[in-house]
Amino acid sequence: MARARLGMALQDLAGRIGDDQVLLRTLAGLSVRRMPRYRYPVAPGMRASSERLKAVTEVWRGLSLAEVQAWRAWAATQRRRDPVTAKVYSPSAKNAFVGLGVKVLQVDPEAPVPTLPPTSDYAGDGVRLTAAAAPGGVLFTADRPNGSGSVTELLVQRLANARRSPTDRYTSAAFARFVPGGLSAFLPLEPGVYALATRPVLATTGQMRGLTVLGVLEVGG
């Protein structure tokens, strides 16, 4: 650490020097120190999401030419709509691959990431859910079992209060697999007001359908 004693005209000098040093005043005079490095806590959900993205990207880097070409051909058949401009476009091969691969690992972290694109479209499984507030969470009830390979993604959006209207930004909270004799799933939530939504997901490919909004509920303690 370097120190400097300067005349009165320069005693108020302070600030950043370059990319990794800072000049500041101390009792012993002006001092040059390395910039402090701050480490902010990362939420478990964000850390898990980052790990999934990293894992899928590594698989992408190892694909063969034939596999990449297959993803390019499949991506060209897909249509997305920009939420801001409303323009319809096709995703890149990498974005298509990563989007599905990340969803596969989100459903099952131990599942293999598909190296080839889906061979058919996914229409969902027709499961309809209702939701009811329960102590400590929400109870979801399905009208039928999930179809073969399908699971139901449960999504939530916590609202500041009962007067706040939901936006289109829902967060994935869990995946439920409804079976004969097991048509309900309990989602634990902290007390508060929540907007709820669901969507079907094909676990092996990561394909999914659009959100079905269920409404707003208040969860008590």
What does the pLDDT look like over 166-189, one tens digit per residue?
999 999 999 999 999 999 999 999
Concatenated DSSP letters of 164-196: SPP-S--EEEEEE--BTTB-EEEEE--SEEEEE
Whether the pLDDT of residue 7 is over 80: the answer is: no
**171-176, strands of its sheet edge to edge:** 171-176, 150-159, 192-202, 212-219
Q: Which residues make up the CATH 2.60.40.10 domain(s) of the chain? A: 129-219
Q: State in words which class domain 129-219 has.
A: mainly beta
Which structure tokens are listed for 72?
């390019």
pLDDT at residue 46, as a whole number:
81
pTM: 0.78
The single residue listed with the structure tokens 């690992």 is: 105
CA distances for 206 relative to 88, 90, 133, 147, 179, angstroms: 21, 18, 29, 15, 20
Q: Is 87 helix (H, G, I), strand (E, B) or coil?
A: coil
pLDDT at residue 118, as a whole number:
97
Per residue in 94-149, pLDDT tens? Answer: 999 999 999 999 999 999 999 999 999 999 999 999 999 999 999 999 999 999 99
| DSSP, res 111 | S
The mean of the pLDDT values for the chain is: 87
Residue type, 84: V
